[in-house]
A and B are shown apart, each in its own frame.
Chain A
Amino acid sequence: MNHLTLGNRRGISLWLGALAIVFGMLFSATPSLAASPSPSPSANNEQLLIKGTIKNEGTPVEGVSVQITGNGVNAKATSGADGKWVLEVATKGVYKVEILLDTLPEGVGLRDPETTVRDANLTATNTAAVLFPLGKDTRVVQPIGDQIMVRVFSGLNLGLLLAVAAIGISLIFGTTGLNNFAHGDMLTFGALFTYLFYVVFDWPLLVAATATIALSALFGWSQDAALWRPLRKRRLGLNQMMIVSIGFSIVVRYILLLFFGGETKVISGDFEAVVIGPINTTVNSLGSMAISVVTLAAVALFLTRTRIGKATRAVSDNASLAASTGIDVERIIRIVWVVAGGLTGLAGILYGLQFQANWMTGFQILLLLFAAVTLGGLGTALGATVGALIIGMVVEVSSLIIPTDLKYAASLIILILVLLVRPQGVLGKKQRIG
């Protein structure tokens, strides 16, 4: 079940260039890039290589071509018998590598059919590797009714997963007023530690998941203890805290990158496929949905039935009033951070087991999470759940109408439109002023 193509840490770091998509452009270690109007030859005479290996489920595939463009280059490279292709270029910079789908063998497709173009980042390194993992060709034309069902199913799946993570954001916002930008990276944390325990250490899934959730909860607790609690004591403004959380999110993300390397981790191993009508899914997706539903129900029970849960809602309503009725607000906030950490770690596990994950995964999801909690009405757990389901649906169903590479855009546009009509969110209450 090990889909790892890369072994040691040092090897891993070579692959970073290809994946540091946005960031590579931004820092030019060589002043030549920043300074010259047209790319100039690199300062040293080292070879600059873009390369990759085309493999289908572990076996090399020969004769697949990629088109490499950028910085004046427009060239083709084709994989050899070992599946490897390589192209030497003259200048540093970011190149585009597009896999030419018609050169793929019959019945073979991209495992991520939406990504035919990837970046090769040669700004900081001399070698950039680009991978296009292959798998069974999933491009099958279905009747529209079936397509809708498939999309709704995926939307439900994504929405439930988002809800598990969004509740954490919502609880933290409710009790502390903080919009935590590091929340997405907590999800990454969960996904990558699952990878470590489950794939690298080869622990049983249940053990790996339990360990990850415990670690994520600990991460939540320690984050609060070491950072947010002291800042609350300093009476740092909420907007300031929000910017601190941005800084913190960058720090966490890059620590994860340093630790785990930049390549995308495939954690979803050999789970059995399940076919329900037109829907092709896997045991892990169904399991993920079941776990999400159970978790959401448990959170709902916790918030409505237990003393601590009720106290949490009281703190969300009005912290000073709650404090005056004898609730230990700091303790509640501590619990919220632990719960939020655990939930978000769980969401990371579920995400990792179904999709792929890398060090940027969480940050990409973060905006969907914010959209979900804002849509539902900031600070209410129920709102976050409803919002997450809406966002999940919009993301998946919209791709029936609009290009799939705009599906995230669709959900964010929905967010902006809802704010236009109903600023308090779908379920939020109007605030009184003055």
Chain B
Amino acid sequence: MANEISIGPAAPGCKKHDPILVADNVMRQFGGLTAVNVEHVEIPRGQITALIGPNGAGKTTFFNLLTGFDKPNTGSWTFEGKNLAGVPSYKVARLGMIRTFQLTKALSLLTVIENMRLGAQKQPGENFLRSLIRPLWAKHEAAITVKADDLLKRFKLDAKREDYAAALSGGQRKLLEMARALMSEPKLVMLDEPMAGVNPALTQSLLDHIKDLKKNGTTVLFVEHDMHMVRHISDWVIVMAEGKVVAEGPPAQVMKDPAVIDAYLGAHADTDLGTVAINVPGKAGN
């Protein structure tokens, strides 16, 4: 079972040739419930990695932990060799690791173009004193506007440029959030269920955008609970269940893994995976 990405055979926690993100012993408990308990995982650089698993498997919590939006009980993780444990979320973003959210966080009462501009980093005009004097930031503003318009065109949102983000459809908001994340030219984009709530017509274009990201050298890590959606675009799949990494490998191989099928079918054989609120570990296995 050799592959190009991992050193040795694919197995939960296996080493990668060129990891961009490495996490060790990350555990998060809510009350008595262990939401995440990842011993070791590595995210390969320059690839599209899918993080899948049934609802309640701890994917989003893991995302929150990695990006500083939540604090683990224990654990450490590094991004490009830099230790990220305890680093606040905004600093994580500044290092080039930008995330999106499961429930889209388009800033409703800002226009689409303002949303985009907000995504750019190191803006001189975002400093309080400099903001008062327009010439100090006008040039940079013009530059990021050009970039924003470019991205909007790519994501086919240019017609909505001046609309409030509140006026966009759910799928368009997902696109906007992704485009906004790209404003800062991140090294790693972490997308939390980019396909959820998006109508089928837009899904394909979203998938294409994700593939484009890889072409431009950006690493992508995305959460999805629909295994079939994942197959087409990901190079690597990590499966979580009950807070743990239970399998990983190239998509075709993972899909056949009995542990994966068990994780899905055992937990929610006949439910729509999108609707179950939270999965208590004790109940799922036994």
Give A contacts to B, CB under 8 Å.
321, 429-430, 432-434
Contact = CB atoms under 8 A, between A and B. Distances in A.
B27 to A, nearest CB: 14
A433 B67 CA distance: 12
Given A432-B30, A432-B61, A434-B70, 15 more contacts: A321-B277, A429-B31, A430-B30, A432-B35, A432-B70, A433-B64, A433-B69, A433-B70, A434-B60, A434-B61, A434-B63, A434-B64, A434-B69, A434-B101, A434-B102
Contacts of A430: 30
A336 B101 CA distance: 35
A235 B276 CA distance: 25
B214 to A, nearest CB: 26
A88 B26 CA distance: 77
Interface of B: 30-31, 35, 60-61, 63-64, 69-70, 101-102, 277
Contacts of A434: 60-61, 63-64, 69-70, 101-102
Contacts of A321: 277
Nearest to B70: A433
A173 B277 CA distance: 23
Nearest to A431: B30
A432 B36 CA distance: 13
Q: Which 4 A-B pairs have the closest CB atoms?
A: A434-B64, A433-B70, A432-B30, A434-B69
A120 B60 CA distance: 62
B92 to A, nearest CB: 14
B109 to A, nearest CB: 13
Residue among A430, A432, A433 facing the most chain B CB atoms (10 A cut-off): A432
Contacts of B102: 434
B273 to A, nearest CB: 18
B60 to A, nearest CB: 6
B58 to A, nearest CB: 11
Nearest to B277: A321
18 contacts: A321-B277, A429-B31, A430-B30, A432-B30, A432-B35, A432-B61, A432-B70, A433-B64, A433-B69, A433-B70, A434-B60, A434-B61, A434-B63, A434-B64, A434-B69, A434-B70, A434-B101, A434-B102
A321 B276 CA distance: 11
Contacts of B70: 432-434
A307 B64 CA distance: 38
A278 to B, nearest CB: 45
A432 B30 CA distance: 7
Contacts of B35: 432
Contacts of A429: 31
Contacts of B31: 429
